[in-house]
Amino acid sequence: MLKHKGIFMNNITDKTVKNCTSCQLCFAVCPTEAIRIELDKDGFYVPVVDDNMCISCGLCKESCYKYDEKIIMTYDEQSISIYAVQSIDKKILNSSTSGGVASHIAIECLKQGYKVIGVAYDNDRDIAINKIATNEKEIESFKGSKYMQSYTEKVFKVLLKDQTDQKYVVFGTSCQIYAIKKYAERTNQNGRLLLIDIFCHGCPSLNLWTKYVKYIKQKMNVDKFDGVEFRSKIHGWHEFSHYFISDNIKFKSKKINDPFFTFFFDNNVLCKACYDCKSRSTLEYTDIRLGDFWGAEYALNTEGVSAVVLSSDRGKGLFDNIKNKFILKSILSKK
């Protein structure tokens, strides 16, 4: 524990703990704004605490699963339902990472009066950034996984400041969703938040992405992209191919010679917190989890299939409303 003015500091700089997940909710919950987020030299977002402003309330630690010694793991398969789904809307399917389920959930949530928090690509800064969408046009930019940590801080702060009855659906990695869930429980706001997380391989360093885009821009001889697709289906769903566009110049990579995916899948450049991630092994803090449905059955599928895991009644209720949007197969049904 760090000592400060005669008291023990109770904040996330306590070095007895573990590696930061970079979810950034600590910044948003801090009542004295003692925490700011910086990008560290290794390319990960980290909190920096101003000891003079910290009141040792411990709210930052309560939002971080790395400090949760009682984190609940999911062992009971009978409490979940699993589906394999592929959108029948070809426009959505072709522009999504797997089966397009995230977009259908977002559209349904908009209809039900939710605001949607998702992750867009910022073409000016070449980073992934969280945004709040209130209509279908705005959720377009959420389509497609951006394989890096998203910059959440401003949007999470807006969410926490909104003390009205406004409903929000939040899409994010499991560590981000854990943090929001803990906040919602503590403040009795579970009822207005629907939480959707993703199967997560882990997040690579932003330094890797920065170097990679510099290399691609040189190849294309451009300064800025107008569009980036991390997992374009241009060569098929299984190919892990980037697609970049700038004015009319287009560039597509292939997995076999794509340096970004080589490092990503070699697992040498992930955030330290990802190597022993517990949040991805539990479904207790999310309503729905989404991923790619890999495996023999869809090995020849070139268009993409999503895995949908329903872990709460709210998640199930929401999904029931959109089942007709997919070619769908039930894999496991809640008893």
Ligand X SMILES: Cc1cc2nc3c(=O)[nH]c(=O)nc-3n(C[C@H](O)[C@H](O)[C@H](O)COP(=O)(O)OP(=O)(O)OC[C@H]3O[C@@H](n4cnc5c(N)ncnc54)[C@H](O)[C@@H]3O)c2cc1C
Are 130 and 119 within 8 A, CB to CB? yes
The torsion defined by the Cα of 149, 140, 313 and 69, in degrees rounded to 10, comes to 10
H or E segment at 132? strand 127-133
Q: What is the distance in angstroms between the CA of the first residue and the CA of the last residue of the chain?
A: 46
Q: Which of 43, 47, 100, 315 binds ligand X (CB under 6 A)?
A: 100
> One symbol per residue from 187 to 226: x for binding ligand X (CB under 6 A), - otherwise; what is it?
-----------xxxx-x-----------------------
For ligand X, the binding residue among 61, 66, 115, 146 (CB under 6 A) is 146
Task: Look up tokens 């046009």; give the residue.
Answer: 137
Q: Is 118 exposed, middle or buried (0-12, 13-18, 19+ CB in 10 A)?
A: buried
Q: Calculate ∠ Cα 164-168-171, nearest 5°.
A: 150
Residue 289 is given by DSSP the state E
Euclidean distance between CA atoms 304 and 94, whole angstroms: 8
Determine, following the binding rule CB under 6 A, whether residue 273 of this chain makes contact with ligand X: no
- The stretch near ligand X (CB under 6 A) out of 136-144, 219-227, 254-262, 327-335 is 136-144
- Check binding of 102 to ligand X (CB under 6 A): yes
Please give the Cα distance from 201 to 42 (Å, whole number). 18
Which residue number, 13 or 173, has a Cβ lying nearer to ligand X?
173
Among 23, 30, 148, 159, binds ligand X (CB under 6 A): 148
Of 22, 63, 150, 253, the one binding ligand X by CB under 6 A: 150
Using the contact rule CB under 6 A, the part of the chain among 2-10, 72-80, 165-173, 255-263 near ligand X is 165-173
Nearest CB to ligand X, comparing residues 10 and 21? 21
- Kindly give the interhelix angle for 101-111 and 313-320, rounded to the nearest 10 degrees: 90
- Cβ at position 152, least distance to ligand X in Å: 8
- Which residue, 60 or 308, is less far from ligand X as judged by CB? 308
- Residues lying near ligand X in the complex (CB under 6 A): 96-103, 118-119, 128, 142-148, 150, 171-173, 198-201, 203, 290-292, 306
